[in-house]
Amino acid sequence: MASTKTYTAIFVVLMALSTTQAAVEWLGFLEDYYWETLGVIMVLSTMKALAVAGYYMHLRDEPRSITYVAMAGLIGFLALTAGASYSII
């Protein structure tokens, strides 16, 4: 396990990134740069998810095989969503 300080720092970062996501909407970036802003917001969500998985779920300390188990589920989701979405574009 990491130290309490590390967990606290991660928590602060997570709160800050969440606020940033909302701020992007409040500042009206979506009105003018929708797709760019969408990309930024989703990247921020991904960063937050990686921080939670890596530190709070201790994936950094587990054997890589555990990460691969989770990745398998993620790839399944992406295959279904991408395949289904592509089929109607």
Partner 1 sequence: MGDLPPRSSVKRWLVTTNHKDIGILYLLTSVFFLVVAGVLALLIRIQLLQSGGTILSDAGYNQVVTSHGFLMIFWFLSPFAFGFANYFVPLQIGADDLAFPRLNAMSYWLYLFSGVLVLGSFFQGATFMGGWTAYAPLNVPSYIPDFGQVGSFATILALIAFIGSVTIGSVNFLTTIYRMRAKGLRMRDIPLFSISILVTVWMMLFAFAAYLAALIILSSDHLLHTSFFALETGSGPEATDSGSLLWTHIFWFFGHPEVYIVFFPALGVLGEMVQTFSGRRLVGRKWFIIAMALVGIQSFIVWMHHMFLTAISLEIKTVMMVTTVAISLPFDLMVFSLIYTMIKGKIRWKTPFLFSLGALVIFIIGGITGVFLGAIVLDYSFRGTYWVVAHFHYVMASSAVILIGAVYYWFPKMTGKMYNEFLGKVHFAMAFIGFNLLYFPMFIVWETPRRIFHYNSGFTMWHQTATAGAFLFAASFLVMFYNLAKSLYSDRHVGESPWSYVASPEWAVSSPPPLENFPGKPSFASGELNFLDRAETDGGVEDAATDGGVEETLAPPEEHADHASWWPFLTASSVVLTGFGLAGLSVSHFVWPFLFAIPAFVAALGVHGARQDGFAQIHGIYMMLSFPLLALFFIFFHIGIGIGELASMSAYFWAALVGAVWGAYTLAGIGYESFEVPEPKMAEQWPFESVENTKLGMWTFIASDIIVFGAFIGAYIFTRIEYGWQEWWKLAKDPAAHTMAEQALEHHPVLPGLINTYLLLASSFTVVLALSAARRTEDYSIGPFSISNRSATVTFLGLTFGGAAFFLVNKGIEWVDLFVHQGWTFGVDVMSSTFYLTTGMHALHVIIGMLVMLFLIARAWTGAYVGEGEDASTIEYFGLYWHFVDIVWLFLFPLFYIL
Helix (H) or strand (E) holding 8: helix 4-26
Of 21, 9, 82, nearest to 46 by C-alpha is: 21
The 45-84 contact track toward partner 1, x by CB under 8 A, reads x--xx--xx--xxx---xx-xx--xx-xxx-xxxxxx-xx
Among 15, 27, 36, 60, binds partner 1 (CB under 8 A): 15
Asked whether 40 and 20 are in contact (CB, 8 A), the reply is no
Min separation Cβ 47 and partner 1, Å: 9
Distance of CA 27 to the CA centre of its chain: 22
User: What is the sign of the dihedral through the CA atoms of 27, 33, 35 and 39?
Assistant: negative
For position 32 contacting partner 1 by CB under 8 A, the verdict is no
Contacting positions for partner 1 (CB under 8 A): 1, 4, 7-8, 10-11, 14-15, 18-19, 21-22, 24-26, 30-31, 34, 38, 41-42, 44-45, 48-49, 52-53, 56-58, 62-63, 65-66, 69-70, 72-74, 76-81, 83-89
